[in-house]
Amino acid sequence: MNPSEIPVAAEPLVAPGAALLDRAVEALEAAALASERGTRPAGVIAVPADAYARVESAKVRASLERVLMGRDPEAGLDALLELGALDLLLPEVKALVGFGDGEWRHKDVWKHTKQVVRQAVPRTEVRWAALLHDIGKVKTRRIEANGEVHFFGHAEVGASMFDRMQRRSSLFKGDEKLSSQVRFLILHHLRASQYDASWTDSAVRRFAREMGNGLCDLLDLSRADITTKRPERKRRGLESISELALRVRTIQEMDAKVPPLPKGVGTALSARFNIPPSPRLGELMKMLKSAVEDGRIDAQREADYYLDWVVAEKLIEL
């Protein structure tokens, strides 16, 4: 049976107080099964939101991740909503329900979020980020006089909301690596979509360096975030992300073959400016390498070229 065919009471039944904990656990299990199997067990009823506070955090997180990682996460997320779990566990997500919905000129953010989760690669950090990437939109919606809608800064606001969520709940307690990566993806989820073919190699290098180890997850989230119903627009969006990924890979391979600085620059710096091998010398070399990678100076030039640049930039006192 399709989840949408399972009758849901207009006014959710409420479990007796003595059984609230068991009913909350049962509801979480039902949502997980809805995601994993595409069908929700019959007879599971909603419980008051505060009942979910009684469920141990490890059980809550395990259930939520089963919902996110299942083959039909939209069905699981709808079950969490209908069974009252989102109200307490993820109020930032609950606030997305009906936000937009044709009222203004922007898509329903709840429907968009569910689609992004479904389209995302099944990696835990990417699925969590897909669920939370747009939570900042509720606080940043701006409607212009002509009816245009903007969400300026929603990625930054979303990252701050995630910080507050962390302080409020213990969902990611003991897994700082996961929480850090999810926050990173929320904060930067728009970066890849801002790519344009006019970006210089230096700009691509800078983007890749700033994204660091999160680059692969970010590109996968960006692909999932394309939910337009216009085939041509979707094709262009996916091709743009693929082009960016290819340029990053090509430039990194090229840079790995050709070092940014020629041999002997460190020795020349030490001799000309009387700097012994030291952290200061290492810092100057690091600045030179960064300048090459950013395109501010050329790679593989004669040593004097780099020494003159150090002087011109006043990186050393003569």
In a shared domain, residues 122 and 74: no
* pLDDT for position 260: 86
Domain boundary among 66, 89, 112: 89
Q: Are residues 57 and 137 in the same domain?
A: no
- CA neighbor of 292 nearest in space, from 212, 205, 207, 199: 205
101 plus 224 within the same structural domain: yes
For residue 18, the model assigns a pLDDT of 47
> Residue 162 has which token pair?
């995630």
Token pair 């999810």: residue: 182
Dihedral sign for Cα atoms in the order 275, 279, 285, 288:
negative
> Does residue 203 share a domain with residue 83?
no
100 shares its domain with 191: yes
207 shares a domain with 250: yes
Of 55, 89, 123, the one marking the end of a domain is 89
Whether 135 contacts 95, CB under 8 Å: yes
Q: Quote the tokens at residue 52.
A: 């979910």
Model pLDDT, residue 254:
86
Q: Are residues 209 and 81 in the same domain?
A: no
Whether residue 317 lies inside any domain: the answer is no
Spans of the chain, pLDDT less than 70? 1-18, 101-106, 318
Number of domains the chain contains: 3
Q: Is residue 318 part of a domain?
A: no
* Model pTM score: 0.80
Question: Which helix (H) or strand (E) element contains residue 216?
Answer: helix 215-224
Distance of alpha carbon 10 from alpha carbon 64, whole angstroms:
25
pLDDT at 214: 97
Query: Residue 178: what pLDDT?
Result: 97
In a domain, 215, yes or no: yes
Please tell me the predicted confidence (pLDDT) of residue 293: 82
Residue 24 one-letter amino acid: A
User: Do residues 23 and 84 share a domain?
Assistant: yes
> pLDDT value at position 4?
45
Inside any domain, residue 287: yes
Span 255-269, pLDDT tens digits: 888 888 989 999 999
Task: Look at residues 257, 276, 291 and tell me which one is the last residue of a structural domain.
Answer: 257
**Strand, coil or helix: what is 246?**
helix
Domain that includes residue 188, residue range: 95-257
Whether residues 105 and 246 fall in one domain: yes
Same domain, 115 and 212: yes
Residue 175, in any domain of the structure: yes
